Amino acid sequence: FRTESLSPGAPMVLPSPVGESVAANFTRSSPCFAFTSDQQGELCVCASFKYAFELQALLLMQLISKCDCHAACLAYVERRITESRMGMAAAQESSNTETKSSAGDKYETGRAMAQQERDRHAVQLHEAQQLLAVLQKINPDRPSDTVRQGALAATTLGLFYVSVGVGKLQTADGKAFLAVSPVAPIVAALGGRRAGEEVVFNGKTVQVLAVS
């Protein structure tokens, strides 16, 4: 798609069906937008400047899929699992080396430190495996019309994939989103809301722009 400056009344031109999808969302939640077709059959979106962010968020929803977000979450968690296992192996090797080369108090100290490091990586491995189990229960192909586990929601606070609480991630093609747990405060506030609905979160009004 191509865009023009979002000064008041300026058009954003989108090829169908992307434009049609965006138009459907905006006529439902933001009636201040007007939609017309130009001679090339593209959809022109005339938006006031104050809604530029909302339009950007909805456009992003057309260009990023839940499957992409889910794959990014899986890649992140699987990387954590691999790193934790490697850390455990390295700590065990360090302990074995201390056993062969040290004696007395130095041996006991080195062995204890290696065991602590191994235990730390074991905890991280367990946590990552729990995250993986959660992700494996989510079907990213299942559509959502409300904010809930497995939903991808564009809001005035950002783009959230309700899955596991690992924070900001990027899809394989570099699109950023926030992976959040269903028990995260923002999800608790937005839970069950549909596109166009609003809640007050931390004293600010937050609108759900689109859900998939």
Residue of 156 and 36 predicted with greater confidence: 156
What region, left, alpha or beta, does residue 45 occupy, with left being phi > 0 and alpha being psi -120 to 50 degrees?
beta
pLDDT given at position 59 = 62
The predicted-structure confidence for 88-115, as pLDDT tens digits, reads as follows 998 888 777 765 555 555 556 777 888 8
pLDDT given at position 93 = 83
Q: How would residue 125 be classed by pLDDT, with cut points 50, 70 and 90?
A: very high
Residues 162, 147: contact at Cβ < 8 Å?
yes
pLDDT given at position 101 = 54
**In whole angstroms, what separates CA 46 from the centre of its chain?**
29
Distance CA 74, CA 66 (A): 12
pLDDT given at position 163 = 97
User: Buried b / exposed e across 130-166, counting CB within 10 Å, b at 16+?
Assistant: ebbebbeebebeeebeebbbbbbbbbbbbbbbbbbeb
pLDDT given at position 202 = 93
The predicted-structure confidence for 27-68, as pLDDT tens digits, reads as follows 444 444 444 444 444 444 444 444 555 565 666 666 788 999
Whether residue 124 has pLDDT greater than 90: yes
Max avg pLDDT among 6-10, 77-81, 87-91, 108-112: 77-81
Q: Computed from CA positions of residues 206, 207, 210, 212, in that sequence, does the dihedral angle turn out positive or negative?
A: positive
Average pLDDT, the chain: 77
Distance CA 103, CA 109 (A): 10
